[in-house]
Amino acid sequence: MRLEGKRILITGGTGGIGEAAARLFYGEGARLFLSDLDEEKGKKLAELLPGTHFYSADVCDSGQMKDLFGQVKEKLGGLDGVLHTAGIVSSYDLLSCTEEHFEKVMEVHLKGTFLCLQQAAAMMLETGGSIVLTASQRGILGATGSLAYNAAKGGIVIMGKSAAMELGKYNIRVNVLCPGATETPMLRQDINNSPDPQMLEAKMLCAYPLGRFGTAEESAYGALYLLSDESSFTTGTTLVVDGGNTAG
């Protein structure tokens, strides 16, 4: 029961990593609040985890994010931890990426992360807590075929480090989870956007020393560590869960 009694918010709670984290955290004793745009799926998941709350909110909308955290305050009385996983897929290279697509990726990944981080920090000022932002191994190393996504994820890494420096005096820890390619619907969508999905998948797997993609549960365990008291002296860092992809 590594999260026993801890009040945890998960954004993107119906996504691959978000749902895996919800199930894992629930089993570890957390009191959960889930948020996602997929209201139907979110409510079903909350019903499967008795006592879990759900509220549909767009992370890009500051008003909806304020409402979300207001609901968290009302239902849970505060927060001990946040896992921010909300995001969208992006599989366009430099020459094919439109200005509209670039702006949308930045809005969801950077603005959305900023709005969630700001609201979470404000709620934790008096109590302290742990905030885990989700970036990617693509936010650490360059990669072809997803320029806007890579740039946004790199921004999240620096945002997390900067916030950790500012919030340490309040006993608020901020860390960034950086998964490699993870077997989720978003990964499959990304691969299937390629002209030759089979060739792309084979090429991607060649870059993973373990010879496979990760699972959502494996990333969720990384987030569990960062939200638990086991990581009480860990802040401003990136936890890479990528099967060795960034090793060299």
> Which residues participate in catalysis according to the annotation?
149
What secondary structure does DSSP assign to 140-204, as a single string? TS--SS-HHHHHHHHHHHHHHHHHHHHHGGGTEEEEEEEE-SB-SHHHHHHHHTSSSHHHHHHHH
Q: Strands 81-84, 7-11: parallel, antiparallel or unpaired by DSSP?
A: parallel
Cα gap 77→79, rounded to integer Å: 7
Reduce the DSSP state of residue 241 to 3 states and report it.
strand
Closest CA to 3 of 120, 132, 166, 118: 132
Contact 191, 90 (CB under 8 A): no
Q: Strands 129-134, 172-179: parallel, antiparallel or unpaired by DSSP?
A: parallel
Q: Computed from CA positions of residues 71, 235, 154, 158, in that sequence, does the dihedral angle turn out positive or negative? A: positive
Residue 5 CA neighbour count, 13 Å, CB half = 1
